[in-house]
Chain A
């Protein structure tokens, strides 16, 4: 019996950590690559330097990349704002619906999560152009709000369903109106969910290709598509520097939002 326990423990630990190493290694490869002193993607890199970061920040050399970064940041921030306006209140409201109503609302809110986003991108392109809305930056934002709304919704529902209704009742009994109660009592309590949702929507929007591919016009170049082109055309090492920056953002975000992103909290 004891030897069986030992074998089990060794196998689970060995395979488990090996699989985790496989899952995490590419992130560190991307990070290490960004500091190469060489001209190519040789790994391990030829020495350490910041030359590709310098090249990336050079306003003349990297102007198209800067435009793409700027567009993507605008889209991501607007998408976060959109999900805060639509999905966050919906998450709160859904926890205060009668069971029959929430049985209808819940699947509708979460449906975009399981639909292949590429199919949605094409559907949105066909539907929007048929009513005279052509691909543009606002169209991309609408697409991202629809597709990533469920992430904000899910993060906020987890918190909203645990709120103590007596806090709102107290506020209402003191004569504070419904709207003010929501803003001053409920919202502050939902901050952990809102933070988690904001981080998730921001990162996903920044990385999205399948919706932007169809809804962005030729003038609106977005960062992931720009990186895709740079990889396909020339294997430009500046892609490594962009990767390094994006990985740094993930580390920063995880540092602050880690507690609220724990699986027991968000799903």
Chain B
């Protein structure tokens, strides 16, 4: 005699509809409101005709792609390390992943100002090696934004991979070994497909987070490299162009949606879905 879960779920469903779906619907409707009154695609037409807005949009999507790439390059060795580690070392790796993840983004961004600043360790090391003639700052460029965001988002990629791996069947690896596969072959043909659902889940989180991290983009990128969140905030808070901000937000949402749909389709690919 298990009781029905409906009464327990109902308040949250109501909150999600009123507090989440309704605002999104209003945002969508608002984006079609013309400044002159009436409805139409004017905001979108203006957006597509504005080279600055388009540049900001593509820079932001590319930023997301670059951060996804770098986090993957950094994350895969950690994932393999985690796979081969014993229980105590696994627990240490999880701790070292949760520690930065739970540390405030603003705090980590601030730490990077120290690291990349004129008096920071990077500048001093390069100075002593004679690579740069005098101390300089490595902030305020896109490479810095990509590096910093990769450090900030890396745990979001690692945790889903570790979750998948901690449930994985070790017999698959033993079988591959028995069949004579070397460690590289196993990593590529067994472990990578095994971790694929976690990697794809992580990519979605990293992309969504990297494209919208207002503070890091603003502080590390500086005033010359503007991304969509700052652009949207300027439209709303400074220019009071709410309908046009809504249109840009919808474009960001749609772009993220396309990326996620592509990844979901990839996850259903037979080679990847086999183990998932």
Query: Which A residues are within 8 Å of any B CB, using their own CB?
Result: 1, 4-5, 8-9, 11-13, 15-20, 22-27, 29-30, 33, 40-44, 85-87, 89-90, 92-97, 101, 105, 108-109, 111-120, 122-128, 130, 142-143, 145-146, 149, 153, 165, 168-169, 172, 178, 182, 199-200, 203, 206-207, 209-210, 213-214, 224, 227-228, 231-232, 235, 239-240, 242-243, 246-247, 250-251, 253-254, 258, 261-264, 266-267
Whether A210 touches B119, Cβ cut-off 8 Å, given contacts A1-B182, A23-B100, A30-B110, is: no
Nearest B residue to A214 via CB reads: B236
In the complex, the answer to whether A4 meets B84 with C-beta atoms within 8 Å is no
Contacting pair A262 B94 (CB below 8 A):
yes
Secondary structure of the A side of the interface? helix
Q: Which of B18-26, B37-45, B49-57, B126-134 contacts A (4 or more CB under 8 A)?
A: B18-26
**Is residue B141 within 8 Å, beta carbon to beta carbon, of the partner chain?**
no
Alpha-carbon distance between A206 and B117 when the two chains are bound, in angstroms: 26
Do A109 and B12 have beta carbons less than 8 Å apart? yes
Contacts of A246 in B (CB 8 A): 103-104, 107
Q: Could you say which residues of chain A place their CB within 8 Å of the CB of B151? A: 22-23, 26
A210 and B27 contact, CB distance less than 8 A: no
Do A42 and B96 form a contact, CB below 8 Å, given A96-B5, A213-B214, A228-B215? no
Q: Please pick, from B24, B112, B120, the residue contacting A123 in the complex, using a CB distance under 8 A.
A: B24
Q: Are B110 and A23 in contact (CB under 8 A)?
A: no
| Cα(A255)–Cα(B109), bound, Å | 24
B68 in the interface (beta carbon within 8 A): no
How many Å lie between the Cα of A118 and that of B74 in the bound state? Answer: 26
Residues of A within 8 A of B175 (CB): none
Q: B114 touching A149 by the CB < 8 A rule?
A: no
Contact B102 A253 (CB under 8 A): yes
Known contacts A9-B84, A13-B81, then 11 further A-B pairs from the complex at CB < 8 Å, ordered by chain A residue: A1-B182, A16-B80, A41-B113, A41-B119, A89-B9, A113-B205, A114-B260, A126-B23, A149-B15, A213-B233, A258-B98
Mask, B110-154, CB within 8 Å of A = 1, is 111111010111000000000000000000000000000001001
Residue on B nearest A245 in the bound complex, by CB: B107
Of A16, A24, A87, A203, the contact of B12 (CB 8 Å cutoff): A87
Contacts of A213 in B (CB 8 A): 214, 233
In angstroms, how far is the closest chain B Cβ from the Cβ of A160?
10
Q: Which residues of A contact B6 (CB under 8 A)?
A: 93, 97, 101
Contacts of B236 in A (CB 8 A): 122, 125, 214
A127 touches B26 (CB 8 A): yes
| B93 at interface, CB cutoff 8 A | yes
Contact of A24 among B2, B75, B100 (CB under 8 A): B100
What residue of chain B has the Cβ atom nearest to residue A264's Cβ?
B166
Q: Which residues of A contact B109 (CB under 8 A)?
A: 231
| CB closest residue in chain B, given A208 | B105
- The reply to whether A27 and B100 form a contact with Cβ atoms under 8 Å apart is yes
Contacting pair A146 B20 (CB below 8 A): yes
Interface flag for B196 (CB, 8 Å) = no
Are B2 and A165 in touch, CB under 8 angstroms? yes
Q: What is the 8 Å Cβ interface bit string for chain B, positions 198-239, against chain A (1 contact, 0 not)? A: 000000110011011111001100000000010011001000
**Residue contact A228 to B103, C-beta cutoff 8 Å:** no
Residues of chain B with a CB closer than 8 A to A85's CB: 11
Given A23-B154, A120-B20, A126-B242: A4 in contact with B183 (beta carbons within 8 A): yes
- Residues in B neighbouring A264, C-beta threshold 8 A: 162-163, 166-167
- With a cutoff of 8 Å between Cβ atoms, the chain B residues found around residue A105 in the complex are 9, 13
Contacts of B270 in A (CB 8 A): none
**Choice from B11, B106, B205, B213 contacting A114 with Cβ under 8 Å:** B205
Q: Is the CB of A146 within 8 A of B15?
A: yes
Contact A86 B11 (CB under 8 A): yes
Show 13 residue pairs from A and B whose CB-CB distance is below 8 angstroms, ordered by the A residue. A16-B77, A20-B96, A23-B154, A25-B115, A108-B21, A119-B252, A126-B30, A127-B22, A209-B105, A213-B233, A231-B219, A235-B113, A263-B163
Least Cβ–Cβ distance between B34 and chain A, in angstroms: 15
Given A26-B100, A93-B7, A258-B95, A15-B105 contact (CB < 8 Å):
no
In the bound complex, CA of A267 to CA of B208 (Å): 18
Within the complex, which residue of A20, A178, A224 is in contact with B3, where a contact is CB–CB below 8 Å? A178
Contact check: which of A20, A145, A228, A253 meets B78 at CB < 8 Å? A20
A228 close to B13 (CB less than 8 A): no
Q: Is the pair B2, A29 in contact by a Cβ cutoff of 8 Å?
A: no
**A126→B103 CA distance, assembly (Å):** 30
Is A29 touching B80 in the complex (CB atoms < 8 A)?
no
Give complex CA distance A18, B4 in Å: 50
Residues of A within 8 A of B19 (CB): 124, 142-143, 145-146
Whether the Cβ atoms of B159 and A267 lie closer than 8 Å is yes
B103: chain A residues within 8 A (beta carbon) = 27, 30, 246-247, 250
